[in-house]
Structure 1
């Protein structure tokens, strides 16, 4: 069998020999049992979780791994596929929900095995498992923090933003607002600044940031953390003639206006002028 002949525990795996690994995945077309398929997929998660390298350096390998996962899924029956997906997501969540573990964002490539229509259900199932085990708060906090950090530094997994968006929405539906506010506040400044990045805009990427901003619209602390960056972000978007950038700019202005008004409510009388002076850059927008 392929695992026995070319298993990921071999020298190529241990030495991070990317060309050899790529060749392994391209050549591994032998028939495997579901047990062997699951083992390969779980070994891959372990490997990806600590793989070094930049997006550019890893892109070729990750594309090959993505194709490998898709090929394995397509081989399985419905029952086998469910077994495989459940095992992979359990392993995936065990890494991102561990506060003591630093996980490479390249690990997110494994999410390709989950059909888009199943994402919400899979996240809900995991959330319910955490509730039953009594570890919901630390696990959810660590997982959300990990996913948001990946959003800041990784752009090679198209499914990541959709997964993150559903993760946030499920937490909202489960009323886990304390966790959402805490972790969102920790990351809001860096998330906001990504709107000025000179990258091809993808609406789902920006929708995540807009959603987080809306959820924090009544938080004076959130407004304070992004206020110093408002000017440069809006100028950058205004210089982009793309249709989505124009729509994003309008949406962002509306959200910022609401955030500013909410933050201003704490100021009365003469102190309103103090507020306007402190946030003059935003007020003048």
Structure 2
């Protein structure tokens, strides 16, 4: 039986960035400030070393450093998940390290580069899940796309508790939720997940990963409250004035999924800096200025709803 009640994936999931100094060394103090900011604004869990955290560029030492810092900073207040994936040997090593350091669970990222057969995909996730007793979430995106039968097999693994979707195939997602149901917890992991959360919520997804919560968590919270309450008028205003304008900037350059977060965090005064590791690129000045205006508007809009 899956450990579906041992840890909840409901709500808004926080994905902190990995701050680097000018020499591209991890800035642990800035990372702790990021985690503290997310927790203080009511996010329901923290995911370390995933896509927003530039997992692909972290050494094992840096991975351990960030995870230790997050566990210390949250102090049991919210669950802390660690990313693990890519090269299978590295993934297993990091999964076991995360358990040793005291993480609450794992987000299993796709395998490196190849597009596998379904049996290969199953074996990949089964191997990582079987290397640890931690609860794990499997992540569908890019080269890791499941059939129903494969996901049903994974759902039978005792410590597989959740499924994060970054693909956006709603026919497939509907089939998954209807056929597997409470056998897994369902998480929206699409880029700028607020864009698609109403559609995901309608088919049974109860959580989403919010990149913008790193710098405008008041928007993430208000958005989710409006969605749950059926406040369509406010939801539409948030879309028109905040979410869609940010989405348009993100589409301007590849890699902005990470670097735009850091730009937003600098704008609101969080000390993470703008440095990203290659092959990512920093945000261009014109786009930075556009984001500043959107963030300013976000504070005005949400403040007016409480006036």
Highest RCO, 1 vs 2 (Cα 8 Å, sep ≥ 6) = 2
TM-score (normalised: structure 2): 0.31
Q: Could you say which structure has the higher strand fraction?
A: 2
TM-score (norm 1): 0.32
Which of these two proteins has the greater Rg computed from alpha carbons?
1
